[in-house]
Amino acid sequence: MIAAAGSGQRLGAGGPKAFVELSGRPLIDWCLEALRAAETIAEIVVAAPPGEEEAVADRGVLAVAGGVHRSESVANAVELCGEDIVVVHDAARPLATADLIDAVVERLAFDSDAAAVTAAAPVTDTIKQAGQGGQVERTLDRAGLWAVQTPQAFRAEALREALSDPDSLPDATDDAMLVERRGGRVLIHQAPAENLKVTTPFDLRVAELLMSDRT
């Protein structure tokens, strides 16, 4: 499923982020292309910006209205997913490839004890934790730190259980976090450097340059 209900406010899009154009096509269309090319994907459900369900469904997918925050959108869409493994991807990551999607699904399928596998990138900057006034409190060991991304593959039942408590959803920054809280075993799969998230105009410009190398 694709989480595509974001407002695009930080991008200055003036409308839903999923419909912002990248190299002449909306972000969501690049994501749909990758998912359709993936061998492990059987059906696609999109959590659409409220009021845009028809425009999304016209792309040949199932569409449901997104919620007030990301995890609520995912919960709405997962209700329409009928497979044992569910992949969650963000429309804001248009450079994800079919190979990456298949890789997270195949790793989860191979490890029966895992509840989820998430794409991620190793942290290369030094990370400091700061308190009030910006004063540094400590420097973290970056050796074990990863920047989590999507796609993320889940055992469907584990994801549904993790999304079942509405009080835990608003502060969740990704869905794997919710599974972790319930004791689920989550694995990391290293993603290629170009799997960036489009959040700001600068990100969009970088994505344009990367996409031009593909086309």
**Residue 13 and residue 51: Cα distance in Å, rounded?**
17
Give the model's pLDDT for residue 177. Answer: 93
Q: Domain 2-214 is in which class?
A: alpha beta
Evaluated on CA atoms 86, 186, 107, 146, the torsion sign reads: positive
Alpha-carbon distance of 102 to 33, in angstroms, equals: 14
> What are 85's two structure tokens?
């493994």
From first to last of the 215 residues of the chain, give the pLDDT tens digit: 999 988 766 676 777 889 999 999 999 999 999 999 999 999 999 999 999 999 999 999 999 999 888 888 999 999 998 889 999 999 999 999 999 999 999 999 999 999 999 999 999 999 999 999 999 999 999 999 999 999 999 999 999 999 998 877 778 888 999 999 999 999 999 999 999 999 999 999 999 999 988 76
Helices (H), the chain: 27-37, 53-57, 70-78, 98-110, 156-162, 175-181, 201-214
Structure tokens at 81: 């997913």
The tokens 């998430």 sit on which residue?
118
Residues 6+ apart with CB under 8 A from 140: 127, 128, 129
Six-digit token string for 173? 């920054």
H/E stretch holding 61: none
pLDDT at res. 204: 95
Q: Give the start-to-end residue ranges of the domains of the chain.
A: 2-214
